Each structure stands twice: as structure tokens, then as C-alpha cells.
Amino acid sequence: MSEAASEKNTVLMEKIVSLCKRRSFIFQSAEIYGGLNGCWDYGPLGAELKRNLKEYWWRRNVQEREDILGMDGSILTHQEVLKASGHVGGFSDPMCDCLLSKARLRADQIDPQDGTVYQYSGASHEESGWSVDREYSVLVTEGQDENKARKTARLYYSQFLTDKQISPKKLELAGESTEEVTGTTSFNPENGSQLTEPREFNLMFKTHMGASAEDGDESSVAYLRPETAQTIFTQFKNVAETNRVKLPFGIAQIGKSFRNEINPRNYTFRSREFEQMEIEFFCRPDEGMALTDEWLEKRLKFYEEIGIPREHLHILDVPDGERAHYSKKTYDIEYEFPFGIQELEGVAYRTDYDLSKHKECSGKPLEFFDDETKEKLIPHVVEPSAGCDRTILALICEAFDEETVTDDKGKEEVRTVMRFSPRMAPIKVAVLPLLKNKPELVEKAREVQALLTPFMTVFYDETAAIGRRYRRQDEVGTPFCVTVDFDTLGEAGDELKDTVTLRHRDSMEQERIAIADLRNFLLDQIH
Ligand code: GAP
């Protein structure tokens, strides 16, 4: 991406973040206390948007299908479950610390750098007789002053001063030597300081349960689940035995997951607390590969149905060696976020890995009797695993638009409009009396509101000029506005009596519609 395009996308992202706060979609968690990094709170409109997404996902994947059952598992997870799944031993990212700023970085996300490494063996302060022997190095990249290395090194060594009154500038550096390097990832790109060697950092949130928790009793250890999938595997037998199911069939779940991400970033994209929408689709071994392709298509169609067009999605067929250890085939569905093309969902063929592991570790039989082949088997599984918060962010990015429009007086202005699909829009319709000081208009508008409220989210607004009220609705993505005016009351004759103006958000076109037809018209649009 060119520098100009990257700058444009940064500005776009800033506008999106600002709108989300201003219009009550997303707030930083614990903002009044300085914020809780990697956690976000959804405001009234964000909560509606999220509900619409989750309800539609549930409807399409559970309620409209005979072969998928829903469940809602616990977040606190037995340590044995996550030992069996491999999360306790292996769910980690390589992490290193900046020796100067103490910033924690993901080792695999540091861009390789070229330059000159300045190495030192220690530092001293002549007047006080203080000294420290400790190796440290700094990277100076092309165009940077070599004095930067010395300044950084003095700052580093000053951490060990016992007398904090001594200025770092007064320190004498020892044993300076230099070396040219290419492609190094051992230095912090922000300040050139040496980093620690990468260490594996487990991403799970660990907690203790019960009365023995305070004694540090190991058996009281539990975890906040890092994925919803594991509860599906551990309840597979219960669900299969208490429902009449035959292969292939799925179990679906929507719920919170938690990962202690080293660098939460890109707004809500990489959070520490997030929601997943996962299906484990159990099948016969010979069906796994084909079902993975089928699920990919189904999921792409789903994104289209919620307003994310195919041309903004990318499919990554994850190559051998880069897939999770349990997967024989994985597609990542990626979206063009303003900050880059990034993963929205993974569709993975997990084989019989999970059920076999849980069978082995729990010692419980997890075989399933296949009525058709009259065989007992550990089913294989295809897993479409979507991130709810990431999809919300994609919906918001996709919806955001600014266009220049000319008002009635010929004045140009920028209209900010969130072009959510009506199905996802947090508010489906705004009901607006033309004037608030005409009781007949207000009464009629309230009647229209009452007619629609049981079926959809309706927003009633009587303040400000009608044009301003339309703009406010545009900014939160309300697809339809209904205005009650004097024609509604019959002042222009019987033909227009009990009709209202229906304004379409995207085209801004207006049409007349009978109040009696309004409910069905809107239900058709938002279903
Ligand atoms: N059960 C498989 C699984 O959890 P994953 O690729 O680690 O696979 C699936 O996660 C989806 O969950 C991702 O595609 C993403 O949408 C979402 N997700 C994962 N980590 C996330 C995070 N830190 N913040 C927000 N969403 C996340």
C-alpha cells in the first residue's frame, strides 16, 4: 500500500472510531479509569447491531436447519478440558520485552530491520564511582545519527543507578563496538533498543475456583475459555444421546471467549474479550474435505446476506505447515479492513482430533453409532468459526460512507451515512412528526410508532428541523424514516389521508405509503 493510501486509511479508521463513540456504538471499557486495554463496551446502538448479527446467525444456522442444534456452554472451563485440547501446553505466542521501555511485543510480528548494531559492555559514573557490567546493544538504522545509540544506551544503563539524581548524560559507556546486520528482529522498531529473547506466553486467563482457591491449590485452577469450541466437544455425547441426530449434524454456539493477547490492536479487531459464533459439524471421515468447501460457500453467502459483498472478502487456503496442528484443511475468510486484509473467520477441517483427545484424556467413550453404516466411529468435524466482534467491525467499516450533497438552498455539505443492510441496522425506522407543536401530528406519529414497535426497533424523534432529523438517522444507519405531516391528517384530501412519507436512507428518495401497508413493507425489508 502506498504511503498516501495508508494515510487515507488511517484517517478513515479515525473517523469510524470517532463516529462509533459519538453515536453510541462502541466505548472503551473503563474509560473513566484510563481504559482497560483490549476490552470494549457496546453502547445502545452497538448492542442492537450485535444482537441483530447474532440473532441472524442463529436463525440461519440453528433455527432454519434440522441438522444443527444449539447450545450455550459455561465460560469457566475445567483445566483437564484445556489440557486435553492442547491449550494449557501449547496455546501461546512468542513474546519479547523491550529492555528500555519494557513494552511487550509479539516476536513474530516484528518487521525485519537492517542497520548498524552498537554493542556495549557496561557503563560507569566517575564522580560517584558507580559502574555496571552488563551487555546491551542498540540498532541504528539508515539515516539515523549514531549518537542515538549512545543516548539510548545511557538511558538503558541509568535504570541501574542507585543515585537517581545522576543524569544519564553523565554516564560513561564501556566497550563500544559495531556490527552491520540485515533482517534482524532483535530490536524494538520504536526506539532501537535490544529486545529479550522470545519466550512463549500462554494466552489463557487462569483463575482459581472454590474455597481452596486462596491457598493456591492446583486443583482449584480453572480457565476462562479461549474458544467456544471445546464446550461443544465435551458435551458432544450428551447432545448426541439426548437428541435424535444422525451424521452429518452440527452443534452451534455463540459466546464469549478470552485471550490474553500480547498486543490488542486495530480497535476491536484483536481484543482480549470477544464473542465467537462457532459450529462444530460432525461427519463421516470421507465427508470432511467436501464439507469444508461447502461450508466455505455457505459462510461467504452469509456475509453477503448481512451486507458484506463478496468482492471485499478474500479467501486464504492456508498452506501446509501454517495450519493449526489439528487441521487437515483451513480456509481463512478475510475482509478488507482499512488497516489491511485480515481474518474474519476460519473454516477448518479438524478431523477427529478433538473428540479423540477428549476420549483419551477423559477415558470416556465418545464414539457415535452411525445408523446408516451400522458402525461405531469417532466423527470427524468441520468447524466454521466466526468472530462476532470482528464481523461487527467489518459491518461498521463496510457501512461507513461520506458523500457530498446539495441542500435545498444549493449549499454543499458532507452527508455521513452508515449504509447498514436493513437486516443489520440497529434502528429499522424513525418516526417523525413534521412539527412538534402540532398535537394532532404528534398524536398520529405516536400511533404509527405504537403500530410498529412490537415488530422492530423504532426511534421516535420530534426535535429539530426535519432535514436535521434525517441526517441524524443517516449517521446511525436507519434505513427508513417515516414522516407524519398534514397530508396524513387529511388536509390535502382523502387520497393522502392516513398515508405517510417514507424516506429511503441510501437514495434519499421519498414516497407516499399508506400507514396500513407500512408494517408489512418494513418487515419484508428487514427480515
Ligand atoms: N475454534 C477455533 C478458533 O477459535 P481462531 O482462528 O483462533 O479459531 C476464530 O478464532 C475466530 O475468532 C477468528 O477468525 C476471529 O474472528 C475470532 N477471534 C479470535 N481471536 C480474536 C481476538 N483476539 N479478538 C477478536 N476476535 C478474535
Which pLDDT tens digits describe the chain residue by residue (527 residues)?
Answer: 777 888 889 999 999 999 999 999 999 999 999 999 999 999 999 999 999 999 999 999 999 999 999 999 999 999 999 999 999 988 888 999 999 999 989 999 899 999 999 999 999 999 999 999 999 999 999 989 889 999 999 999 999 998 989 999 999 999 999 999 999 999 999 999 999 999 998 999 999 998 776 777 888 999 999 999 999 999 999 999 999 899 999 999 999 999 999 888 899 999 999 999 999 999 999 999 999 999 999 999 999 999 999 999 999 999 988 898 889 999 999 999 999 999 999 999 999 999 999 999 999 999 999 989 999 999 999 999 999 999 999 999 999 999 999 877 888 999 999 999 999 999 999 999 999 999 999 999 999 999 999 999 999 999 999 999 999 999 999 999 999 999 999 998 889 999 999 999 999 999 999 999 999 999 999 98
CA of 225 to the centre of ligand 1 (A): 12
If you take atom 18 of ligand 1, which residue's CA is the nearest one?
Answer: 387
Q: Ligand 1 within 6 A of 93 CB?
A: no
Kindly give the distance from the C-alpha atom of residue 276 to the centroid of ligand 1, in angstroms, as a whole number: 7
Question: Is residue 278 within a helix (H) or strand (E), and if so which, with residue range?
Answer: strand 273-283
Q: Answer whether 255 contacts ligand 1 (Cβ < 6 A).
A: no
The three grid cell numbers given for residue 385, joined into one nine-digit string: 468459526
State whether the beta carbon of 384 lies less than 6 angstroms from ligand 1: no
Q: Whose CA is closest to 481, among 445, 447, 516?
A: 445
Taking alpha carbons only, the member of 260, 111, 106, 265 closest to residue 198 is 106
Q: How far is the CA of 250 from the centre of ligand 1 (A)?
A: 19
Residues 6+ apart with CB under 8 A from 15: 400, 402
Spatial distance between the Cα atoms of 361 and 372, rounded to a whole number of angstroms: 29
Atom of ligand 1 nearest to the CA of 261: 23
Q: Ligand 1: distance of its center to the CA of 300 in Å? A: 17
In total, the chain counts a number of residues equal to 527
CA 35 / ligand 1 centre spacing (Å): 23
274 lines ligand 1 (CB under 6 A): yes
Residue 38 beta carbon below 6 angstroms from any ligand 1 atom: no
Residue 473 confidence (pLDDT): 98
pLDDT at 8 (0 to 100): 87
Write down the pLDDT at residue 456.
Answer: 98
State the pLDDT at residue 212: 74
**Gap from CA of 275 to ligand 1 centroid (Å):** 8
- Distances in Å between the Cα of 472 and the Cα atoms of 244, 433, 464 are 50, 15, 10
Question: What pLDDT is attached to residue 262?
Answer: 87
pLDDT at position 86: 93
> Closest Cα to residue 501, out of 152, 200, 486, 79?
486
According to DSSP, residue 411 is labeled: -
Q: 386 CA distance to ligand 1 centroid (A)?
A: 7
Residue 270 CB less than 6 A away from ligand 1: yes
Give SS3 for 485. coil
- The closest-lying atom of ligand 1 relative to the alpha carbon of residue 388 is 16
Cα 38 to ligand 1 centroid, rounded to whole Å: 14
Close Cβ partners of 358 (under 8 Å, ≥ 6 residues apart): 81, 84, 85, 233, 234, 236, 364, 366
Q: Concatenate the DSSP letters of all residues of 194-261 into one string.
A: BBPPPEEEE-PPEEE-SGGGGGT-GGGEEEE-S-SHHHHHHTHHHHHHHTT--SSEEEEEEEEEE---
Q: Whose CA is nearest to atom 10 of ligand 1?
A: 385
pLDDT at 4: 81
Which of 385, 392, 393 has most ligand 1 atoms within 8 Å of CB, for mutation?
385
Q: Is 390 in the pocket of ligand 1 (CB under 6 A)?
A: yes
Mutate to test the pocket of ligand 1, among 251, 276, 308 (most ligand atoms within 8 A of CB): 276
**Phi, psi of 504, rounded to the nearest 5 degrees:** -90, 130
Centroid of ligand 1 to alpha carbon of 254 (angstroms): 12
CA–CA dist 336, 342 (Å, integer): 7
Which atom of ligand 1 is closest in space to residue 276's alpha carbon?
A: 12
pTM for this model (two decimals): 0.88
What is the C-alpha to C-alpha distance for residues 260 and 326, in angstroms, rounded to an integer? 22
The verdict on whether omega for the bond into residue 112 sits within 30 degrees of 0, i.e. cis, is no
Q: Is the CB of 225 under 6 A from ligand 1?
A: no
DSSP alpha helices (H): ranges in 400-514?
439-452, 466-476
Distance CA 393, CA 512 (A): 35
Q: Specify the pLDDT at position 210.
A: 87
Question: In angstroms, what CA-CA distances link 383 with 253, 260, 305?
Answer: 11, 23, 20
Which atom from ligand 1 is nearest to the alpha carbon of 226? 4
Q: How far is CA 298 from CA 25, 242, 281, 476, 503, in A?
A: 28, 28, 13, 29, 33
The reply to whether ligand 1 has any atom less than 6 angstroms from the CB of 385 is: yes
Tell me what pLDDT residue 92 has: 86
Rounded to whole angstroms, the Cα distance separating 118 from 180 reads 9
CB neighbours of 299 closer than 8 A, spacing ≥ 6?
Answer: 333, 345, 347, 384, 386
Ligand 1: atom nearest CA of 348 is: 2
Are 222 and 79 in contact by the 8 Å Cβ rule? The answer is yes
Spacing, Cα 435 to ligand 1 middle (Å): 49
CB atoms closer than 10 angstroms to residue 441: 21
Compute φ and ψ for 410, nearest 5 degrees.
80, 10
Query: At residue 3, what are phi and psi to the nearest 5 degrees?
Result: -60, -40
